[in-house]
Chains A and B, each alone.
Chain A
């Protein structure tokens, strides 16, 4: 964590509850990301993942704490941080080209029409939608709509991409191809990406770092799991990697049991320095305090296990 491109510093979100009490969605959340890193957040519904993303996007403000991006505390939205929405959020009265061009002309207001169109076209081609420029969103399939959403986010050449379960509404096949596209584009452009997902395999395939959050209300960041799989991993042979099941089991165990009990079991948990878990490197596992056998797991002992 030397190069902190994004640093979330002690943010909390509280809402006034019934009878003067306040409901804390999450609190004292610290996390950081390096430039070019792909991070996924996993946690159950209600732990405030979407709120964290909205705060990063500037659509929402934290009740406490600050978010620092590229050395600057953020206030409000920015064209440096593009959002890919879960529901694609395309403007239905504009064509594919119109939707992307809207973003382009918002970033470069002095550009003339031809320049805006050419720039937008480049990103429509990038996501493989050449030929569908003049279609309206209602004429596109769910996967194509989300491609437009991705093209729109990329077209403003942001410093980072924020994705809120971008593929959860898609069928498995389309989801797979889009995951490939996103991974390819992020690797090619060196994009820093922050993604919320419920899909453990999606996180394992895409992320360099997986943030595990405990259950809300009062959610905290429990662990940062480093992805041990090689950077040139492929979606189809992912599950053959010797460390794949260890990683997957660790995450699923967390979601099934530990996310509920984490805060009571670990009263000494320091949210500012959430332990980093390195699967397959037992000697380096910081979180290993003895009572967690899964972190001292050795490669090859439980292949074929699935959760």
Chain B
């Protein structure tokens, strides 16, 4: 009767997963009638026509393929056949580079804008116009000026993750409680020390929230960006497997993108908890 909520929720999750996998399995079972045709023609038509097998893989196919990938995550058989670990590694490295650059620009700039009403007002129209631009719209401009597809992808990540961080930093810094600032003022604390000992800790939860939104957006955008620039990365892998008509691999990639995205979010959530203070 008194099973903990967590346990019950876990059970429901497992039931839902089993139901989903079961329906998926039933829906992709071979049901179509097998037609007889000449072997030459059958080769052209593929398995769907000859054996009545659905082109959509079932959970068992995906599971078997996933196990294969997990056994050899880092193999490298040339440009079109690399292990999933390598592809994810490229994507994470690009997101990491673009995101870190954005942190280095957004947080100091956000501090300046947040502390200066003049800058805040002066830069506002620029930020308002630049913020809603889809990061992929920058891609042609980046490719033309940077002339390197990989660096262009990093630039796209930079430009998409800078806005939530910048706006949250500005908001966090500008809305630090007046009384905390007054405490620092009555103690004759200088501007730099005040920024680090009062404003930064007070604004940290808001800044971290912006950083968490940014990492989510960056991970969303990297897939699309890599589909465009090609070469390496999980986004390229998805598009390449689509061209290979390997729906199994596409499904595996989708699953992994979701898991990595969740892990990135969890890491930032943990940092946010570390700087949050109860009032």
Contact = CB atoms under 8 A, between A and B. Distances in A.
Interface in A43-59: 57-59
Contact of B179 (A58, A87, A156): A87
Given A91-B180, A136-B278, A102 B197 contact: yes
Interface string A215-233: 0000000000000000000
A59 B201 CA distance: 22
Given A93-B201, A138-B279, A77 B188 contact: yes
B1 interface: no
Contact of A89 (B183, B188, B189, B201): B183
B208 to A, nearest CB: 13
A77 B185 contact: yes
B5 interface: no
Interface in B242-279: 275, 277-279
Contacts of A77: 185-188
Contacts of B187: 77, 79, 102-103, 106-107, 156
Nearest to A79: B188
A78 B189 CA distance: 10
B175 interface: no
A216 B100 CA distance: 54
B136 interface: no
Interface in A63-111: 77-79, 81-83, 85, 87, 89, 91-93, 102-103, 106-107
A interface bracket (residues with beta carbon within 8 Å of B): 20 to 34
A149 to B, nearest CB: 9
B36 to A, nearest CB: 76
A125 to B, nearest CB: 21
Interface string B215-257: 0000000000000000000000000000000000000000000
Contact of A58 (B186, B197, B202): B186
Contact of A106 (B179, B180, B188, B202): B188
B182 interface: yes
A85 B277 contact: no
Nearest to B276: A93
Contacts of B180: 89, 91
Contacts of A59: 182, 185-186
Contacts of A106: 187-189
A106 B197 CA distance: 11
A113 to B, nearest CB: 15
Contacts of B177: 89
B42 interface: no
B183 A92 contact: no
A78 B188 contact: yes
B175 to A, nearest CB: 15
Contacts of A81: 186
Given A78-B188, A106-B188, A106-B189, A138 B179 contact: no
Interface in B160-193: 177, 179-180, 182-183, 185-189
Contacts of A102: 187, 197
Nearest to A149: B183
Contacts of B202: 91, 93
Interface in A33-47: none
B183 A138 contact: no
Contacts of B188: 77-79, 106
A85 B185 contact: no
B198 interface: yes
Contacts of A57: 186
Given A92-B278, A138-B278, A82 B198 contact: no
A215 B188 CA distance: 33
Given A59-B186, A77-B186, 13 more contacts: A58-B186, A59-B185, A83-B182, A85-B182, A91-B183, A91-B202, A93-B275, A93-B277, A102-B187, A102-B197, A106-B188, A136-B277, A156-B187
Interface of B: 177, 179-180, 182-183, 185-189, 197-198, 201-202, 275, 277-279
17 contacts: A58-B185, A59-B185, A77-B187, A78-B188, A82-B186, A87-B179, A89-B177, A89-B183, A91-B180, A91-B183, A91-B201, A93-B201, A93-B275, A102-B187, A103-B187, A106-B188, A138-B277
